[in-house]
Amino acid sequence: MNPRKKVTVVGGGQTGGMIAYCLANKNICNVVIKDIPEFTQHYGKALDIMQCSAFAGFETMVTATIDWETTANSDVIVITAGAPRLPGMSREDLLKGNADIVGAMVRNVAKHSPDAVIIMFSNPMDVMCHVALRESGFPRNRIIGQGGMLDSERFRTFLAMELGVSQRDIHAYVLGGHTDTTMVPIVSRACMGGFPVASLIGAQRLEEIVARTMKGGAELVQLYRAGSAFFAPAVATTTMVESIIMDEKRVLPCSVLLEGEYGVVEEVFCGTIIKLGMGGAEQVYEVPVSDQERERIRAAARSTQELFALIS
């Protein structure tokens, strides 16, 4: 029998802990939660999750650590660590501090798990993907941002609520950037059971749903008052990890380094559709979108490029 795959979650906060729990329940890999010595909650979360196994029915080993040696030879590294987003704070506000944090972590990832696929969660996510690419030296296919997954979950949720149908029968994606202003809900391709949603929902109402999707993270920050979303982000990230670990070849909306897609000449991380398997982003697809959506994707790429230039 092949040994279990190994996934390291860097950052044992709300989201990191929930990702570890979701992965444990999948029973497909062992999990390491890595955090700093000053933060001890990840030890409690690892033990708490392990104590679920008797009745939850999984054999996953969940380990907490403060050292990188324990994470060695991970197949997937999920980086969630960084400063939290607070009310009134944009993802861009987190730029400089998180770039330093993520850069140091990625250098350790490259040293101890040189064959890993990195899933970037820390914000501003698209820029942090650039930091990870620069600091790791990994190829394009092994640095992937999860923002489009979360934003697409929200878009599908709001469309399903409006139509009164199962979210599983909504096929809709958010591409572009992972910020309140640069994400691009792709209305032109959104469908319910094969029917274009634009034929089922009035134009004004559809605009309101798009606007709510784009402010979906800020809405939850305001509702939580202290902290931000962690259930939906964890499920989105777990779906990505499972597709890699199990080599499922899922076709999912993620941030990858564009190389000419959508007419983006400069190489820049931006959300599109990819095939996600054991090799990471095994194929990158350019979605046929409207002219307006294409221009908004290009604008998102320019915005990310400008932000990355500030820390280059």
Residue range 229-242, pLDDT digits in tens:
999 999 999 999 99
Give the pair of three-digit tokens for residue 259: 């190389």
Confidence (pLDDT) at 117: 98
> Is residue 171 flagged as an active site residue?
no
Q: Which of 42, 112, 130, 178 is catalytic?
A: 178
- CATH fourth-level superfamily of 5-147: NAD(P)-binding Rossmann-like Domain (3.40.50.720)
| Mean pLDDT score, 123-128 | 93
Mean residue pLDDT across the chain: 95
Q: Comparing C-alpha atoms, which of 80, 87, 185, 74 is closest to residue 125?
A: 80
Per-residue pLDDT of 136-169, as tens digits, reads 999 999 999 999 999 999 999 999 999 999 999 9
Spatial separation of the C-alpha atoms in residues 233 and 21, rounded to whole Å: 13
Q: Comparing C-alpha atoms, which of 230, 216, 221 is closest to residue 179?
A: 216
Confidence (pLDDT) at 2: 60
213 Cβ neighbours under 8 A, 6+ residues apart: 151, 154, 155, 158, 174, 183, 185
Residue 98: pLDDT above 50?
yes
Helix axis angle, 231-245 to 147-163, nearest 10°: 120
Asked whether this chain's domains 5-147 and 148-309 adopt the same fold, the reply is no
Give the pair of three-digit tokens for residue 174: 């958010």
Comparing 100-104, 203-207, 289-293, the range with the smallest average pLDDT is 100-104
CATH assignment of 148-309? Answer: 3.90.110.10
Angstrom CA distances, 294 to 186, 187, 254, 284, stand at 10, 12, 16, 16
Could you give the percent of the chain with pLDDT greater than 70?
A: 96
Could you tell me the pLDDT band of residue 310, with boundaries at 50, 70 and 90? confident
Is residue 35 within 8 Å of 12, Cβ to Cβ? yes
Confidence (pLDDT) at 84: 63
Claim: this prediction has a pTM higher than 0.85: yes
Could you tell me the pLDDT band of residue 1, with boundaries at 50, 70 and 90? very low
| Mean pLDDT score, 46-69 | 97
Which helix H or strand E contains 43, and what residues bound it?
Answer: helix 41-50
Domain ranges of the chain: 5-147, 148-309
Compute φ and ψ for 55, nearest 5 degrees. Answer: -100, -25
